Structure 1
Amino acid sequence: MYRRNSLLLVCLAFLAPVLACTTDDDCSLNGICKNNTTTTTTTTICHCDPGWTGPDCGRLDLAPATRWTGYNHTNYTDPAYYGVHGNSSWGGRIVQDRDDLKLFHLLVDQFSHGCGLGGWRPTSFIARAESRNGPQGPYEWVQNVTSSFRHNADVLWSPADGKYLLWAIGATVDDPKTCKSIPGTQSKAKLRFPNNISVSAAPSIRGPWAPFHVAVNGTNPAPWLLGSPDGKTSQIALAVEDFKIFTAPRWSGAFTRVGEDVAWNTTDYSPSWTEDPFLWRDKRGNWHALAHWMIDIVEKDGAKYPRVGAHMFSRQLEGGWAFKVQEAFSSTVEFTDGAAETFNRRERAKIFFGEDMTPLYLVSGVQAKGAKSSFTLVQPIGERWREYEKNLGF
């Protein structure tokens, strides 16, 4: 793999809208910088790829979401539950069934026994839900994939291995008897809930899943297969907390750190403080990531909204990553009923792509203001999702 030891390109100034561009980097690698000719002038501006918008193509072009789609079961009740927050969840990854193209799976972080988001440790486990209504859902629970404690679920299909690869943090523990949160600073918590990223594999999205084994020490796994979308390779990249990047010859192999420390995550409580990356490679071979941006925690005395999403990009996996201190998406969601809601929290963003790597849906965990429950929201991106669903017969 090609490496370079260039300095990171980090743009840490708020950008005013600018129409002119010089290279595709000025378009966040989400578009093409090319001439725009009028009757009197010729200028170079960004022509954004579908799904992206803004003068520098740095913002997701989100369409209105439909209420009670995604995975929203916060109204579920069970007399055996000792919590009152239904089947709360916190984001996941959409997977189209390989045999039945009208069936969609969602691997999702769910909290057991009616516990809310505050009890994510120790109650989080990974569930699988299904939708026959299209990628937006609604999704219905069909299977517990793991027991507690597993969190940060992400899943990929590896054609070279013929397996689904399931990534998570956590370890198997006794079934939680309370919704009480266990702070990660406690010494006992560090022993029972270590910060490690583990991976499992299965021939089917339904399992059976092999035992998890530890891949790297860290949290917030963001895996992506190396090579072209059509090429079969077992090589894999893995971004983790603080945007450290690792690669391995295959999912079960030894992971090696590549590249440099990124400049924007050197300290917490800075204007560029991020976590929970989601990594992908676009149709041109460029690399991108979304992350939970914690700017309002810094600037608004601990507030967790509305600016929540950051976008980073690079021509090489190993270095040259650019970070613009600007919003890629917010916690304000417009709905098809004409209303808009600003959520208290919106995190764990992941994108479902079309075959040409056009972003079609944004999946994220959301929590309303004043609520302790949470759910997984699926929001369409741009306009291409309409054609995608129409071609599937929805």
Structure 2
Amino acid sequence: IFFRHHVCISHQIFRLLMRAVRKHAFSKFRFLVVFIAVIGVLLCAVVWSLRAAPVTGIVLPATASQIANEQALPSESQDSDHGTAPALGAVDSMQDVCEQCNLAGKCLAGGQCSCLQGWTGPTCGVLDLVPGTAQPAFHKASRAGVTTWGASAAQAPTGEWYLFASRMVHGCGILTWSSNSEIVQATAPDVMGPYTIVKTLMPSFSHGPHLVRAPNGSYILFHIGAGDGISGVPAEACAEGSTIRPFKRPHAKKVAPGEVPSGDFWIGMAVAEALTGPWRRYGPLLGLRDGALEDMITNPSVAILPNGTALLYYRTTHRERKRTQRHIGVAVADHWAGPYRRLSRVPLFEALAEDPYVWQTGGVFHMLVHDSSSAGYSNPQKYAGKHAFSRDGLHWTVSPDVPYSATVALANGTLVLYARRERPELVVIAGRPAALITAISAQPWTRRDHGFTMVQQLR
């Protein structure tokens, strides 16, 4: 029996044994061969049935109340059949911001908008980005031919900035993200970087880090992937941060309600009292379900409300008319530790989008997403991002304004046109956006799938 990556190739061994049986006429030997073959098949079946077992080192969920005692976390509960909205509790709403100004500005007489910090434009629907440099946040790493793809950052009490980013192992490009991505920790004296990678926080496969501060002061790093150290694309297929040879992309597996999601496409988290760690990993919090309109769950973003309720937003992918459709889904929990349940089996809004980032300011909600429509992919220099806003976190309005694009203005007055700009994440200070973190690809992936992470300051 040969076992690797949850695959048992027992039929090859069986064929070899049968050849031996035909060569030897002794009944005892034949009986022994058949007995060994049967035992092998049974062992193969046992290993196959255990392929969904949790990865060693990850704490399986238990009950929600135990997280307060630093014990195990709760498992995912059943989906909500009717999409019942949770009791969100009282929030301090910004009464003077209005939908006309995308909830990012105050409405003035004559239909004018007075934009809040970080926003600009006639209706306050555009991020007020400061012209910067064409350098990525990881200067040395990018020059060395390493692909990174988005990050989440926070400032420690000491003043040092910590950034958690997705990095591709084996010198591969972003096309290998679903097997070769790992999460690294980097530091810098300033939010703009450059950041120095200090360690690998979670080995491959792990992706899409999203850092949240819990009400008790703990740091929660939501992510996807088991982080079991298995990477599907070897170094021979990659060079200088790009994928140079064809490879087979791994796929997720749906499971029936009540089962633990298998594979790597589930949402987990790591918890620490300080940004330096140590980090305790928990999961899965949310995985694929049979009957749901989902083929993949990635890119978590969590908003924790004043009453403790947590809203978990994520990218959901499904096939429709032979095309991949990307939407935003939402799950809810009474506590950020879970258990989480889906509020609906349909997307949060109709617009095609992925990579959600959600934050609250003054009791209202904002969301940045990557525009995954045909316009967003065909003309990213104009339509890379989308902005949505909400007063309750459940009912969203997608703004017609484009908050950011793949066209980056430099301090010297020139413009750089990138092929892709995805994975938006903000550095939010006192409820106001201070910097935009995005994943950048300079060339179309059909030519070179190298990527890097950029931090651009906001006014």
Identity rate of aligned residues, in percent?
Answer: 27
Q: CA deviation at 1:167?
A: 0.9
- Matched residue SS, 2:112: strand
Amino acid corresponding to residue 281 of structure 1 in structure 2: Q
Counting only pairs closer than 5 Å after superposition, residues 1-394 of structure 1 correspond to structure 2 as 2=87, 24-35=98-109, 43-77=110-144, 86-98=145-157, 100-101=158-159, 103-132=160-189, 134-160=190-216, 162-171=217-226, 172-176=228-232, 177-178=234-235, 179=238, 181-185=247-251, 193-217=263-287, 218-227=297-306, 234-241=308-315, 242-258=327-343, 261-262=346-347, 264-265=349-350, 272-282=351-361, 284-295=362-373, 298-299=374-375, 302=378, 304-319=380-395, 321-355=396-430, 357-370=431-444, 371-382=448-459
Which whole-Å CA distance do the structure 2 matches of 1:65 and 1:127 have between them?
A: 24
| 1:294–1:304 CA contact under 8 A, matched in 2 | no
Alignment gaps of 5+ in structure 2: 1-85, 90-95, 239-245, 255-260, 288-296, 316-326
Say if 1:367 and 1:72 are closer, same or farther in 2 by CA, change over 3 A.
farther
**Cα separation, 2, equivalents of 1:51 and 1:34:** 18
Q: 1 CA distance for matches of 2:313 and 2:379?
A: 26
Instruction: Assess, with a 3 A threshold, how the Cα gap between structure 1 residues 263 and 121 changes in structure 2: closer, same or farther.
Output: closer
How big is the shift at 1:186? 7.9
Give the AA of the match of 2:358: L
Aligned-residue Cα RMSD (Å) equals 2.7
Cα deviation digits, residues 357-380 of structure 1 (max 9, x gap): 121100000010254211110001
How far apart, in 1, do the equivalents of 2:262 and 2:332 lie?
A: 27
- So what's the TM-score if we normalise by structure 2? 0.66
> Between Structure 1 and Structure 2, which shows a larger proportion of helix residues?
2
Amino acid at match of 1:183: R
8 Å CA contact 1:259, 1:318 repeated in 2: no
What SS class does the counterpart of residue 68 from structure 1 fall into? coil
Deviations 1:139-197 (Å, cap 9, x if unpaired)?
Answer: 0111110100001111112142x421111111224245344654255879xx9744211
CA deviation profile, 1:15-55 (whole Å, cap 9, x unmatched): xxxxxxx97111000011122xxxxxxx2311111111112
**Deviation for aligned residue 1:256:** 2.6
The separation in 2 between residues aligned to 1:66 and 1:163, in whole angstroms, is 34
Residue ranges of structure 1 left out of the alignment (5+ in a row): 5-21, 36-42, 78-85, 228-232, 266-271, 383-394
Aligned residues: 328
Contact 2:434/2:458 (<8 A) preserved: yes
3-state SS of 2:202 partner:
coil
Specify whether residues 234 and 182 from structure 1 end up closer, same or farther in structure 2 by C-alpha distance, changes over 3 A only. Answer: farther
Partner SS, residue 219 of structure 1: strand
